[in-house]
Amino acid sequence: MSATKRVNLRTPEVMEAVQAAVEQHYHSPMVDKLRASGGIARFGDVTVRLAKQFGFCYGVERAIDLAYAARKVFAGRDLYLVGEIIHNPDVNAQLASMGIKTLSGPCKLTEIDNLSPEDVVIVPAFGAEVAVHDRIKARGCQIVDTTCGDVMSVWKRVRQYANDGVTSIIHGKADHEETRATSSRARDSEGAGHFVVVYDLAETDMVCDHIRGKGDRALFLQKFGRACSEGFDPDLHLVKVGVANQTTMLRSETEEVQRRVREAVAARDGSAANFRVFDTICGATQERQDALKELLDRPPDLMLVVGGYNSSNTTHLADMAAQTIPTYFVVNASCLESPVKIRHYDTHRREEVSTANWMPAGPVSLGITAGASCPGNLIEDVLRRFLQLRGIALGETAVS
């Protein structure tokens, strides 16, 4: 099929309308005011402390802007989104209400095969696997690619590894959209190249054991069979290795993965010549982790972390805070059911749970942060709900 015509979605007229709609749906004057005050305010007997960096990052804002622009520019055509635009159910629900349909699940490729050149397909901020992207392109669809630039930087890195005969060890979640997209690019121009995905340090140690020649090949393939490239042989493909990562992983853990792999290569070879590394942690992810670390230097009494339960960067924020203080990872204000009951996500059990008697009595210091895919209006909703449960009217406000 002939190439689709390139369309400029970001004209001044379109973007003016987009910004007005996005602000109406996601903006929070209250959060902006708190941020401008230094992130500290008193409401009655509650002292609120916001992390200095939280909520929507540039890449997420860009993806949402492009989705809204596509809806306006292609008003008379069917719009489809590959999976979720970002990991926030409220944002994805808003796009669905605008008539943007989702291509997802086990029938995704079949659904793509039913598309026509008149259809418009939005690629999310995480990107899409090469096979999915090529399938859409083959249908002749208009593609609106919102892939984050930081993600594409990782793609370039693993492709370079493959071109140089280096196997990519990717620190991430094997079933995460971004990691699947990255893994699909860990091939050279001829289709050769290999990868293995490690989720945590325990899995990293299994790979390192094999690099040192101490691993069990059968156990390795049993463990990583669904998290490595087709035809992966740990006895052959762990000679030259390079570390990359899902951009939203915890930086300290990624750095430890790098250290352990480098050490294993050096122990085997006598030098680290067969090891490569490149810093591919997203800047916004790091800023939010650093801001939370700073907030926790003077720990509040409890922490609310707001965001989608399937958001990797939000999960890491919740895990960081939980090491220090009582922390509740909530998707929106509805989770704060009462002063004696809160629903929240348990990142270890990977399910929503309920906790009783969660709200402290007496004066309380409340910390709040949010993942990069969480809009300001949801943060405001959570804060308003917390204050409502405390019986505090918003008029009782003094900004520190």
Pairing mode, strands 100-103 and 79-82:
parallel
Given a contact cutoff of 8 angstroms between Cβ atoms, the answer to whether 152 and 182 are in contact is no
User: 132, 185, 175: which is closest to 155 by C-alpha?
Assistant: 185
Q: In whole angstroms, what is the distance from residue 176 CA to residue 40 CA?
A: 35
Tokens of 372: 């990069």
User: 25, 131, 132: which is closest to 81 by C-alpha?
Assistant: 132
By annotation, the residues acting in catalysis are 178
DSSP 205-257: HHHHHHHTT---HHHHHHHHTTSB-TT--TTTTTSSEEEEE-TTS-HHHHHHH
Tokens of 155: 């793609």
Given a contact cutoff of 8 angstroms between Cβ atoms, the answer to whether 306 and 292 are in contact is no
Q: In whole angstroms, what is the distance from residue 130 CA to residue 185 CA?
A: 7
DSSP 330-345: ESSGGGEEETTEEEEE
A 10 A CB-CB count for 355 gives 14
User: 125, 50, 54, 140: which is closest to 95 by C-alpha?
Assistant: 125
Looking up tokens 């006598």 gives 270
Q: What order do you get walking across the sheet with 336-338 strand by strand?
A: 336-338, 341-346, 351-356
Q: In whole angstroms, what is the distance from residue 214 CA to residue 92 CA?
A: 46
Q: In whole angstroms, what is the distance from residue 308 CA to residue 331 CA?
A: 5
Q: In whole angstroms, what is the distance from residue 191 CA to residue 202 CA?
A: 30
Tokens of 365: 């210091």
